[in-house]
């Protein structure tokens, strides 16, 4: 046998020289040259924007190794490599990856949002990786977010803060419809005008707005409110109330800031109708101050329901999350129809696999998977695999299907002696453990078998990572779970939960359930700036009657609200005094009149009359109109000493009645 091996070696050396002119090959690279040429170099990884879905021959994109039973190319055949058989062999360190390799993990530069176009090039949370570039979902724009320096994807067709473009905010009360701000209709069916400018601009219902009654800037006085575009006295409105400090008359059926009662404001997206905050268009999502009115048919953050947000590049179309035109849905992610990614090639979501010892690329219009035998060590396509018919392949020696028998092995395109064939052949079916696969590979020179390790690269779902570990006890692969340990901000806690639908982690929010005292309610709101919880105060907005005002003050001792009384301190004129008295019937104040009860002397009587010009009292004089007899005349004169009246004598000769009942004449005031 040693003699046969020696003769075979001499024959091979001779043939490699003499047959070069016939078969066009040169000496194969040495083992050292192969090792050098197979070193993986991260520097060969293409940068984002520089690749078209395929990679150069020395990168891990577009050339992958696969099992010998991999499917052929799109045309049903494999492409042979050129006859330049002395080209250097290029083996990837991550040869098992159907795409790129980052940090020992298989990734797809075309769709991976954490390695988009290159290793560790992460997209923003709201972006998707499309064709190796971070992009917002179809129809959305990248705009500044609520956090300083952060950007988010915004649908400028329906976002109030970015309507039609980034930073183009709608006035208060307006909605964003097809990229344009639109005010709602007022109670009379007309479109509300915009009153005010800049940050103070707002859609105003001039039929009900106290400060813009009938038109912008037409303010009603404190005791009136606006009804049908006219200032109307509060006492004449069944739903009128005096609210605020100083008290102002509002119609609690329509007032935006006092809806159904004092200090009960409606969110900017709602209107006050019949004392209730309601959506004028769209559907109400959320409660209280956080309530909004999105269009569930087109809002990508509230698609079909208040809690459904479109992800993976999808947009809301007719209440359903769908991929935009020109893309298709692959496992919850929108992929371009012209994708050249090996993990999702062309119009399908199929993975391109390479033949054994060969390469694969996604190319053409539309793109399809195309396999090729581009490795010069395995240049020939045989039965769905790339083989070397020159040497080493005893099943394809000198041509496809030509099998070496007996103790022969394939050397220089012909069957010669070897240790792997004979009677019987070495079958290599006894791996050392369950974590090595059969059949193994026989070394023709020694007849010994080597076995490939079981490939643990197919995790059960997106929530487990590749590069699993094989158990020698049962040959099963176990995979490490995705580590959900990086919450988006300080207001979310770890560990998070991985979704098997898309491999994304969700994190539980910080529980703000411990208010500082009985005058604050739950749930609170967590601040992403410091992770602290703030809690809404107890709303003291329901005074016991119209003679008390809101807001009241909550007692931390018992949680009870106390309300300040209406201050009746503004009498209508100088002839009324404060404090007045509030009526619980209508909340109006009445004031006591100035008491004019002190005449200047005995010749004037009380009560007097107060002058609104100066607040002074005037008193009526004592009437001296009743003389004691017919011999005295009116008017008399009052004495300030005793308040008695004295009367002048009648003209002498005036007929009078004497004390004895007879008829006489007045003389010196005496009837004679």
Tokens of 542: 């329901």
Instruction: Look up residue 290 and give its DSSP letter.
Output: G
Dig out the tokens for 545 from the structure.
């009657």
pLDDT per residue over 140-172, tens digit each?
888 887 667 777 888 888 888 899 999 888 998
What is the predicted pLDDT for the residue at 350? Answer: 81
* Residue 650 CA: distances (Å) to CA of 487, 612, 629, 669, 671: 115, 43, 9, 6, 10
- Provide the sign of the torsion angle of the four alpha carbons 520, 522, 525, 530, taken in this order: positive
Closest CA to 27 of 78, 86, 95: 86
- Give the C-alpha separation, 492 to 610, whole Å: 72
Q: What is the mean pLDDT of residues 394-420?
A: 78
Nearest partner of 280 among 295, 259, 265, 264, judged by Cα = 295
pLDDT of 178 > 70? The answer is yes
Return d(Cα 170, Cα 180) in angstroms, integer: 8
Return the ∠ at Cα 352 (arms to 354 and 91), rounded to 5°. 35
Retrieve residue 596's tokens: 């004019």
> Model confidence over 490-511: pLDDT tens digits?
999 999 999 999 999 999 999 9
Per-residue pLDDT, averaged over 54-60, amounts to 35
Mean pLDDT of 459-478: 93
Buried b (16+ CB within 10 A) or exposed e, 285-317: beeeeebbbbbbebbbbbbeebebebbbbbbbb
pLDDT confidence of residue 125: 66
Which tokens is 186 given?
């007022």
pLDDT of residue 247: 83
Model pLDDT for residues 209-258, shown as the tens digit of each residue: 888 998 999 988 888 888 888 898 887 888 888 888 878 888 898 888 89
Distance, in Å, from the CA atom of 313 to the CA atom of 296, rounded to the nearest integer, reads: 18
pLDDT of residue 43 exceeding 90, the answer is no
* Backbone conformation region of residue 401, classed left if phi is above 0, alpha if psi is from -120 to 50, else beta: left
- For residues 406 and 421, is the Cβ–Cβ distance under 8 A? yes
Predicted confidence (pLDDT) at residue 40 exceeds the cutoff of 80: no
Q: Pick from 622, 616, 589: which is nearest to 604 by CA?
A: 622
Q: What's this model's pTM, rounded to 2 decimal places?
A: 0.36
Spatial contact of 285 and 294, defined as CB atoms under 8 Å apart = yes
Domain boundaries, the chain: 637-671
Weakest-pLDDT range from 36-50, 326-340, 368-382, 616-630: 36-50
Q: Which residue has the tokens 């520089």?
A: 50
Give the span between the Cα atoms of 100 and 254, in whole angstroms: 62
- What pLDDT, on the 0 to 100 scale, is given for residue 195? 94
Query: Is the distance from CB of 414 to CB of 405 less than 8 angstroms?
Result: no
Per the DSSP assignment, residues forming a β-bridge with 359 are: 372
Q: 393 Cβ partners below 8 Å, 6+ apart?
A: 387, 410
Angle at 42 between CA 41 and CA 47, to 5 degrees: 135
| Average predicted confidence (pLDDT) for the chain | 80
CA nearest neighbour of 30 among 90, 88, 93, 91? 88
The residue to which tokens 């219902």 are assigned:
205
Q: Among the listed ranges 41-45, 307-311, 483-487, 551-555, which one has the minimum average pLDDT value?
A: 41-45
pLDDT-based confidence at 564, cuts 50/70/90? Answer: very high
- How far apart (Å, rounded) are the C-alpha atoms in residues 44 and 29? 22
Which CA distances in Å does 672 have to 188, 632, 664, 669? 91, 14, 5, 9
């Amino acid at each position: 046998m040693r003699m046969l091996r020696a003769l075979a070696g001499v024959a091979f050396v001779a043939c490699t020289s003499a047959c070069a002119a016939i078969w066009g090959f040169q000496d194969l690279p040495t083992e050292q040259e192969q090792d050098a040429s197979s070193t993986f170099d991260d520097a060969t990884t293409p940068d984002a924007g520089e690749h078209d879905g395929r990679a150069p021959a020395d990168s891990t994109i577009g050339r992958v190794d696969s099992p010998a039973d991999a499917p052929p190319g799109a045309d049903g055949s494999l492409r042979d490599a050129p006859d330049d058989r002395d080209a250097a062999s290029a083996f990837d360190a991550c040869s098992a990856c159907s795409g790129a390799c980052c940090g020992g993990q298989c990734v797809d530069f075309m769709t991976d949002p954490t390695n988009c176009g290159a290793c560790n090039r992460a997209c923003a949370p709201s972006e998707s990786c499309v064709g190796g570039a971070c992009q917002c979902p179809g129809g959305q724009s990248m705009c500044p977010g609520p956090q300083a320096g952060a950007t988010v994807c915004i649908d400028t067709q329906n976002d109030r803060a970015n309507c039609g473009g980034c930073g183009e905010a709608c006035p208060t009360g307006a909605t964003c419809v097809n990229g344009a701000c639109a005010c709602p209709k007022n109670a009379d069916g007309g479109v509300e005008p915009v009153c005010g400018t800049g940050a103070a601009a707002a859609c105003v219902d001039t039929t009900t707005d106290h400060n813009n009654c009938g038109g912008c800037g037409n303010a009603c006085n404190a005791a009136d409110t606006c009804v049908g575009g006219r200032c109307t006295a509060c006492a004449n409105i069944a739903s009128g109330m005096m609210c605020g400090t100083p008290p102002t008359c509002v119609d609690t059926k329509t007032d935006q800031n006092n809806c159904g009662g004092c200090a009960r404001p409606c969110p900017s997206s709602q209107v006050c109708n019949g004392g209730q905050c309601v959506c004028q268009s769209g559907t109400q999502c959320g409660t209280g101050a956080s309530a909004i009115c999105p269009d569930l048919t087109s809002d990508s953050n509230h698609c079909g329901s208040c809690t459904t947000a479109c992800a993976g590049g999808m947009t809301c179309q007719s209440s359903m999350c769908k991929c935009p035109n020109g893309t298709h849905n692959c496992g919850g992610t929108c992929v371009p129809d012209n994708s050249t990614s090996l993990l999702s090639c062309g119009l399908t979501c199929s993975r391109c696999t390479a033949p054994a010892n060969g390469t694969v690329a996604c190319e053409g219009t539309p793109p399809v998977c195309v396999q090729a035998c581009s490795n010069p060590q395995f240049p020939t396509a045989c039965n769905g695999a790339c083989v070397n018919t020159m040497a080493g392949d005893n099943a394809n020696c000198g041509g496809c299907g030509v099998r070496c028998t007996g103790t022969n092995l394939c050397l220089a395109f012909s069957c010669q002696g070897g240790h792997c064939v004979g009677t019987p052949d070495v079958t290599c079916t006894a791996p050392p453990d369950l974590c090595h696969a059969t059949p193994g590979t026989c070394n023709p020179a020694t007849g010994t078998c080597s076995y490939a390790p079981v490939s643990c690269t197919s995790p059960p779902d997106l929530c487990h990572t590749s590069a699993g570990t094989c158990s020698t006890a049962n040959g099963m692969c176990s995979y490490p779970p995705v580590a959900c340990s990086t919450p988006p901000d300080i207001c979310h806690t770890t560990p998070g939960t991985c979704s098997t639908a898309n491999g994304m982690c969700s994190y539980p929010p910080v529980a703000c359930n411990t208010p500082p005292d009985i005058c604050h309610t739950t749930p609170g709101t967590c601040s992403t700036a410091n992770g602290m919880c703030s809690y809404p105060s107890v709303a003291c907005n329901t005074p016991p009657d119209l003679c008390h005002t809101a807001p009241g003050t909550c007692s931390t001792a018992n949680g009870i609200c106390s309300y300040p009384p209406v201050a009746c301190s503004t009498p209508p004129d100088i002839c009324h005094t404060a404090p007045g008295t509030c009526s619980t019937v209508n909340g109006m104040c009445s004031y006591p009149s100035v008491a004019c009860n002190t005449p200047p002397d005995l010749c004037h009587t009380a009560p007097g009359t107060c002058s609104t010009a100066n607040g002074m009292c005037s008193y009526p004089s004592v009437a001296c109109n009743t003389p004691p007899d017919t011999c005295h005349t009116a008017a008399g004169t009052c004495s300030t000493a005793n308040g008695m009246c004295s009367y002048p004598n009648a003209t002498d000769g005036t007929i009078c009645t004497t004390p004895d009942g007879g008829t006489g004449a007045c003389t010196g005031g005496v009837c004679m």
